[in-house]
Structure 1
Amino acid sequence: MARGGGEWTGGGNTGAGVLPFKRITLLVCFVNILIALFVLRFLYTSSLNIYSYNENVVRYTADEIRKMEESIRIRRSKESIELVKLAKKLKRDVATAESNTELSPDVKHKLVDEILQRLKSLEEKSNVTQLREAVELWRSEKLKEAKEMIQGQNGENSTNILEEAGMLVRALELEWDVLSEEIGFWLPAEVSNEEHDDKPEGEEEPEEVLAGRPVPAVCNAELHTDYGGAAVRWGLTHHKESAADCCQACLDQAKHAKPGETRCNIWVYCPSEFGCFSPDIYEHKHQECWLKYAEYPKQNFKDRYSEMYRNNHPKAPSIVPWVSGVVTA
């Protein structure tokens, strides 16, 4: 009994396990069929898109391609090659001209000599207005001469002359203020200097002493004085320890100047630690030493700036800060 019952039970368990296995197999097959259908649909859709793209591509015939090539060739043959070359040449010429607008030192030196010669022809007592008119007349004559030179030069060998004349016209006509500063030439505004004695009655002026070693008598030092003239050495980059050293620099320059070079006969020094005022665009600092030349030295300012001048130049102090002198050979 025990053995038979065990065999019956085993047979019943085997039949119950086969049924779930068949269901799982059917489910897997069904899923595989769905995946296969999805892949087939995707491949079919892709092939339709590719076919549609190929249908939209424009295809040209051999005759149409030949006509397009002929059209491109004709268009290129109609381009103005000479005009393009000329435009490039003009661009290079303009760039070259802009890089060579600086007058040479020899030309600047010649301009200074001509201005000085023109001023020499004036009377000794000429005022600032007369000096200015003389310089303006010289400038207009020089400008006319340069323009006539440009019109008269047409040969290939005149390139350098044309360039120099063109730069001179530009400097005299458009950049005269810059050029006059570069060559150290400027004329102060004409003002009437009036003496104002606002010192309290009975009070004595304290004796002023320049710092440094004593100034030699040959220097003819004048306190609170500013002499004009053509700059031989710019003080912006020329500093000296004392007024005596500045005067000595003027004497040394005149002694060692080469033939034809302008010789210093005026020195102007800034003794103030706070700098010195001047009616130009620069900031003049302590110990600036200007070396100048003038055949007939004249004072720009002496002792005090007038009230009228200070109204026109609000930054001007009441007392002229410079010390200067005319050396005697």
Structure 2
Amino acid sequence: RGDVQSAAALEPLEAALLAAATAPVCGDGKCDPTETLDTCFADCPGVTTPAMCGEEPHSDPQGNAVVDGRGHKKESAAECCAACAVHAANPKNARKPCNSWVFCYMPICWSLDTGNKHTFGECWLKWQADAAHPLYGQRGKYSDEFRTKNWRAHKHNNLTVPTHVPWAGGVLGSTSPPGVTWETAADGSMRSSAGDILVDYRPWESREQNLKRGVKPEQMKF
């Protein structure tokens, strides 16, 4: 009888431990059904496009803008990716076919581009010269130093720096290693949890200036 009572007493505890072990954890890289942009911006919205889109949540791929997103609106990241694929398939665009895309999924998407107010649905189609070595302007989480340095960038829009890059982007056909996260530092460099370092290429700077900042030679072109 005592053993039965002890087992019965343990059942609620075991259930509680099981619930805790299986509960969504904000920051694990998965946007669970109970998580939202408001409750866990680190994980949401997550990947919402087919694998061929090469989507990386909270990322801003660089490249020559072949279609300006300010006048090119879509309802979802999937639609934006599809528009990139259609652009690439058009023979008229053979010289610079779209191979990377960026979508704004927030009411207003923060950016270092202080001269514009980027809003929901903007779908930027871009071309990168070497998609095997994709270029990014920002990736993943913004460091505390980055947020402090740029807190006034959109003060005129009453917009503060978010914790993570508020754009979804992808390079067609690429894949991101599962579980790898990125952080964008105050100097613009991006560091991954796997130890990789990526320095953003600045086309307005000279080759020597880019090299000095740590940009790799194969990444010094759009």
- TM-score (normalised: structure 1): 0.35
2:164 to 319, 322, 329: 319
Contact 2:88 2:94 in 1 (8 A): no
- For the pair 1:307 / 2:180, whether they are aligned, the reply is no
Q: Which residue of structure 2 aligns with residue 246 of structure 1?
A: 80
Offset of 1:221 from its aligned partner?
1.1
Q: Which residue of structure 2 aligns with residue 41 of structure 1?
A: none
Q: Deviations over 1:106-160 (max 9, x none)?
A: xxxxxxxxxxxxxxxxxxxxxxxxxxxxxxxxxxxxxxxxxxxxxxxxxxxxxxx
Q: How does 1:202-281 map to 2 (within 5 A)?
A: 204-205=25-26, 207=31, 208=43, 210=45, 214-258=48-92, 261-272=95-106, 274-280=107-113, 281=115
Q: Which residue of structure 1 aligns with residue 173 of structure 2?
A: 328
CA distance in 2, matches of 1:249, 1:302: 22
RMSD value, Cα: 2.5
CA distance in 1, matches of 2:48, 2:143: 30
CA distance in 2, matches of 1:228, 1:259: 18
**After TM superposition, what 4+ stretches of structure 1 lie above 4 angstroms from structure 2?**
208-211
CA distance in 1, matches of 2:120, 2:166: 10
Q: How does 1:1-329 map to 2 (within 5 A)?
A: 204-205=25-26, 207=31, 208=43, 210=45, 214-258=48-92, 261-272=95-106, 274-280=107-113, 281-296=115-130, 297-314=134-151, 315-328=160-173
Deviates more, 1:259-268 or 1:223-232: 259-268
Contact 1:210 1:243 in 2 (8 A): no
Larger RCO of the pair (alpha carbons < 8 Å, separation 6+): 2
Distance 1:210 1:204, change over 3 A: closer
CA distance in 1, matches of 2:80, 2:62: 16
Amino acid paired to 1:266 = S
Offset of 1:223 from its aligned partner?
0.7
CA distance in 2, matches of 1:232, 1:220: 18
Q: Which residue of structure 2 aligns with residue 152 of structure 1?
A: none
Offset of 1:203 from its aligned partner?
7.1
CA distance in 2, matches of 1:316, 1:300: 15
Identity of aligned residues (%): 37
Contact 1:277 1:317 in 2 (8 A): yes
Runs (5+) with no aligned partner, structure 2: 1-22, 32-42, 152-159, 175-222
Offset of 1:257 from its aligned partner?
3.8
Contact 2:62 2:136 in 1 (8 A): yes
**Tell me, what secondary structure is at the counterpart of 1:249?**
helix
**Tell me, what secondary structure is at the counterpart of 2:141?**
coil
Q: Which has the higher strand share?
A: 2
Structure with larger Rg: 1
CA distance in 1, matches of 2:93, 2:48: 31
